[in-house]
Structure 1
Amino acid sequence: MRPGPLLSDRWIMNRTVCTVALISLAFCCLALAGPSTDGESTPLARLFGMGPAENFTIRSETLERDFHVYIRLPREYAESECDWPVVYMLDGGILFPMLAPLHLMMEIDDLAPPAVLVGISYGGLGYANGNMRSTDYTAPAPEPDYYGGADAYQRFLSEELIPKINRDYRVDHDRSLVLGQSLGGQFTLYTALTRPDLFGAYLSINPALHRNVEFFIELEPAARQDPTPLLITRASEDREPFRNALDQWLEHWRGREAGSLALSVQGLEDEHHASSAPAAYRQAMAWWAAAGGDTCSGSLGSD
């Protein structure tokens, strides 16, 4: 039997549960929307701050598991024929209901480009509820032994989910951003280094490298035609093991004089490990627009 998360991983989950409580109303409304099967879309009309919103379930042949995917479309999506920038959110069961309404409010204030938002959810919190983030989002580590599934999760994205999104929605994948937090931040960093062409740009929020930082230090990055846009945001109040591991990797990377990453590191003052995603997202939108994640018309805002 696969072991459960160790102490620090439990701490991550406990902090995440606190964040979930703040958005429990959104989860209740999502549950009331009812389940859907692959190919079906259920509008979440009453959650107007998250919409126009749709959802579907996709069965991964690679991972032999279901994923629940939530989509928010730009307000002008139906009236426009253009291909929109697209944001992929790991841990979508938490981050999508948190960040989709924020993105809308940022659009109104000309702080974010209108974009198609894609939240990828496990449908439950914790391994017992089918949440395999500790495997799917991680590179190999000396321990725990359930780390190391990032390559398979990349195949799920590249061969199954991304083609479906490209087929069913008007998106410009060249202007795509993938974001992840904590272990999700480890995945976005790992993918920026190993499969840099999988997305247009990468956001790593408080990446949790505390169990396998040596792997990342020894990792030889893959080549991309242009340097890979990667933003790392780090909370000033993050726990010491996370801060120290990231410091180690950053010190090593900056000493390489490597040109494969267009790396930006931004601090999040007075923010903590699990609760800093909104602050990170706000910083990331300006950075992403500058990196080429702009709108169909090439300008921010939607009025």
Structure 2
Amino acid sequence: MLKFAAAALVVLLSASSSGNALTDGDKTPIDYLPALAGDYFKLDSESVGRPYHIFVRLPQGYEDNPSETYPVIYLLDGDSLFPMLAPTHLFLTYDEQLPEAIVVGIAYGGFGEVNKRSIDFRTFSGEKNGNPDGPDKFLKFLKHELLPKVSSQYRTDESKRILVGQSYGGFFVLWSALQDPDLFWARIASNTSFGDERERLFSESSKSENKAGLVAIAVGTQDTQARQDFVKEWSRVWGESENAPWIVKEFVMDGGIHAATIAETYRQTLKWIFQDNASESGSQGE
């Protein structure tokens, strides 16, 4: 079912492949779902050497407020997380008074062979042959290709960039926090999967210009014990470190499972990011 939903989103939005906001005459079926309405474009990455499908949910009232800028939230695994969390964000503005945001889903276009999340998020085998690793390439794609395109095309508040990842995506979120602390104002890592690469997430962090970042790391009590132990250790080590370039907060989701708890994790972590740290913003590096 999820595979069908992801494929359907690509088809429904294919008419808006230029990356420009749709006009009334260009409406596609997805535009009649207002919680998902926005934009879509395909981005062929020079850094990675593969294309990505980029889905953009624009805030309610975006066209009516041409001078307003918005936080921008980047979702890894956009194939599944975008159709789930983009509407969730709308509800959070209704019920929790969280600020509206531009939500960007980074998708592969399927769950089969085309999906290279395991390479992009946590495959480091390139070290053996001298080639850049998957996460290195993907980080360059974010920093030099996707983020500049989104910031030039939409009215983003560049001091409020957030990266969200689940499972392997959670690994990349934490790894990127060590590699480039200032690229995002806040990061959310949910139920991180790490395999043999666990120790990389305890390596030395790159220097930060502002040390004003935020990292929310979450795990469900029904996820594996290894993942629960990792979150406790990572939170403790970086929470106590004088060299940590961000503030760390651990979230334990009572009864939470590995994948399906992401919506509640998104809710709780964003409340902490926006309501408890509203005045904390750093300038991210380009």
Normalised-by-shorter TM-score class: 0.7 to 0.9
Give yes or no for the alignment of 1:243 onto 2:223: no
| Correspondence for 1:167 | 152
Deviation at 1:111, TM superposition (A): 3.8
User: In structure 1, what is the Cα distance between the partners aligned to 2:231 and 2:128?
Assistant: 19
Within-5 A mapping of 1:105-184: 105-126=91-112, 128=113, 130-138=114-122, 140=124, 148-184=133-169
Two-structure CA RMSD over aligned residues (Å): 2.8
Deviation for aligned residue 1:241: 3.1
Aligned partner letter, 1:140: F
Q: Aligned equivalents of 1:190 and 1:25: distance in 2?
A: 29
The residue that corresponds to 1:194 in the other structure is 179
Q: Give the whole-Å Cα distance in 1 for the aligned partners of 2:109 and 2:279.
A: 29
Indicate the residue corresponding to 2:194 in structure 1: 209
Deviation at 1:38, TM superposition (A): 4.8
Structure with bigger RCO (C-alpha 8 Å, 6+ apart): 1
Deviation per residue, 1:84-123 (Å, 9 max, x gap): 1111111111100001111112212234210111111011
Residue 228 of structure 1 deviates from its aligned partner by 2.1
For 1:195 and 1:69, how far apart are their aligned partners in 2?
22
Q: What is the SS of the residue equivalent to 1:88?
A: strand
Residue 50 of structure 1 aligns to a residue whose secondary structure is coil
Q: Check 1:219–1:243 CA distance in 2 against 1; reply closer, same or farther (3 A cut).
A: same
Q: TM-score scaled to structure 1, two decimals? A: 0.80
Secondary structure of the equivalent of 1:49? coil
Task: Spell out, residue by residue over 1:104-155, the C-alpha distance to the aligned partner (whole angstroms, 9 max, x if none).
Answer: 12212234210111111011113x1x21111111263799999942121111
What secondary structure, in the 3-state scheme, does the structure 2 residue paired with 1:211 have?
A: helix
What SS does structure 1 have at the residue aligned with 2:218?
strand
Alignment-mate amino acid for residue 32 of structure 2: R
Deviation at 1:199, TM superposition (A): 1.1
Code of the aligned partner of 2:116:
M
8 Å contact from structure 1 (residues 112, 286) kept in 2? yes
Q: What's 2:14 paired with? A: 34
Q: 1:14 matched to which residue of 2?
A: none
Whole-angstrom CA distance in 2 between matches of 1:144 and 1:248: 29
* Structure 2 residue runs without a partner (length 5+): 281-286
How far apart, CA to CA, are the structure 1 residues paired with 2:89 and 2:7? Answer: 18
Distance 2:117 2:110 in 1: 11
Counterpart check, 1:279 vs 2:264: yes
Which 10-residue stretch deviates more, 154-163 or 24-33?
A: 24-33
* Structure 2 counterparts to residues 10-29 of structure 1, below 5 A: 20=2, 28=8
- Which of 48, 64, 68 does residue 34 from structure 2 map onto? 48
| TM-score normalised over the length of structure 2 | 0.84
Given that 1:69 and 1:120 are in contact with CA atoms closer than 8 Å, whether structure 2 keeps it comes out as yes
Structure 1 residue 39 displacement after superposition: 3.8
The 10-residue stretch of structure 1 (34-43 or 96-105) with the greater mean CA deviation from structure 2: 34-43
Structure 1 alignment gaps of length 5 or more: 1-16, 295-303
**99, 123, 141: which one aligns with 2:85:** 99
What one-letter code is carried by the residue in structure 2 that aligns with 1:34?
Answer: S
Query: 2: CA distance between counterparts of 1:184 and 1:293?
Result: 27
Cα offset, 1:31, TM superposition: 2.7
CA drift of 1:237 comes to 0.7
Q: CA deviation at 1:239?
A: 1.6
Relative to structure 1, the CA distance from residue 258 to residue 118 in structure 2 (aligned partners, 3 Å threshold; closer, same or farther) is same
Distance in 2 (alpha carbons) for counterparts of 1:147 and 1:267: 35
**Separation of aligned partners in 2, 1:192 and 1:285:** 17
Q: CA deviation at 1:249?
A: 3.2
